[in-house]
Amino acid sequence: MRALRIVIVAVIAGFAMGVAFAQAPSGSAAVPPQGRGATMTPEQRAAAAAAQTAKLLAMERPIEAMDTVWTDEMTWLEVRDALKAGKTTVLIPSGGIEQNGPYLATGKHNYVNRASCGAVARKLGNALCAPVVPFAPDGDIERKTDHMAYPGTISLRLETYRAVLTDMAASLRAHGFEHIVLMGDNGGESVDGMKQVTQELGAKWAGGKTSIHFVPEYYEYAPYQPKLRKYANDTFGWKPVNEGHHDNPAITVMMMTVDPNTVRVQQRIKANKASIDAISIVPVDRAVAAGRKLVEYRAEQVAAAIRKVIASPPTTARP
């Protein structure tokens, strides 16, 4: 009996293989993996690959584009079509992961960038935002200086940070962007790194189609700086009392426009700590509305600065 079962299984398996072979489509799909490719020269394979890429690059976008200015939220076809439509300026926002007091997520700069860069790009009308550079020089890693003294902080060496910015800018240039703008929500060595990259690439690309710029106004109107904080105090009648945290009301409400959870609203309400520097962050809708007003104000100042620097003759990074 055992021998009979083995024979029956073998017959069934052979029949199944025969059916599969008979149903296999003719042409390229039926060619073994080593088939045609094995007979092509390296030059022929390269030409075939180039032809396929050209075909894909020329394809029509099959669906409506999503309404976003963030390249990492777009399909490659949407980026291609945005470039063709004249969105040839791209903004590279730099953030960081660091300690920010007891209430704010370590990605504070990145959340503020999500709110601010998108608003600037929409103000300009001809711009997109590259993905946020999430890390920055935030202290010596081994000696744990500056923010590195606190768990959760991620710091890059300045040379690493510069290399990331350089490769991002070069990639965007290769795809046809004509104006690349570096702007940082973080200070310190981040600013130095952006200036250095702008100077180096500006010199390297001189006379070409693509220019690169560093816009200090983005940081000058950050919620950590006097200009925006004064605007917030004057606009909302705030009289903040410094509690000594790496935090302030302007930062908090701007983060809330992206996600109130990033400032732990519900936990703070429960603990009766829904304020910062004596400024309440409830009701949530009111705080978010204030944050949007600050985002809009910052975007207006920065968009004006970008238009001005792009209209000027090519220069290296401004101080």
Residue 258 lies inside a defined structural domain of this protein: yes
pLDDT at residue 312, rounded to an integer:
85
Which residues, at least 6 apart from 96, have a Cβ–Cβ distance to it below 8 Å? 108, 109, 110, 134, 135, 136, 138, 185, 186, 190
Residues, the chain: 319
118 vs 133: CA distance, rounded Å: 14
Note the pLDDT tens digit of each residue in 134-174: 999 999 999 999 999 999 999 999 999 999 999 999 999 99
CATH number of domain containing 247: 3.40.50.10310
Note the pLDDT tens digit of each residue in 18-51: 433 334 343 333 344 445 556 899 999 999 999 9
Residue 68 scores a pLDDT above 50: yes
Q: What mean pLDDT do residues 272-285 have?
A: 98
Q: Burial level of 49, CB count in 10 A (0-12/13-18/19+)?
A: exposed
- CB-CB contact of 24 with 30 (8 Å): yes
Residue 34 lies inside a defined structural domain of this protein: no
277 vs 275: CA distance, rounded Å: 7
| Residues forming beta bridges with residue 213, ordered by sequence position | 181
pLDDT at residue 244, rounded to an integer:
95
Q: Burial level of 7, CB count in 10 A (0-12/13-18/19+)?
A: exposed
Residue 30 lies inside a defined structural domain of this protein: no
Note the pLDDT tens digit of each residue in 91-120: 999 999 999 999 999 999 999 999 999 999
Q: What mean pLDDT do residues 174-184 have?
A: 98
Q: What mean pLDDT do residues 251-256 have?
A: 98
- Give the number of domains in the chain: 1
Residue 128 lies inside a defined structural domain of this protein: yes
Q: Tell me the residue range of the domain where 197 lies.
A: 71-311
Which residues, at least 6 apart from 176, have a Cβ–Cβ distance to it below 8 Å? 83, 88
Q: What mean pLDDT do residues 218-228 have?
A: 97
Residue 220 lies inside a defined structural domain of this protein: yes
Residue 294 lies inside a defined structural domain of this protein: yes
pTM of the model: 0.85
pLDDT at residue 35, rounded to an integer:
52
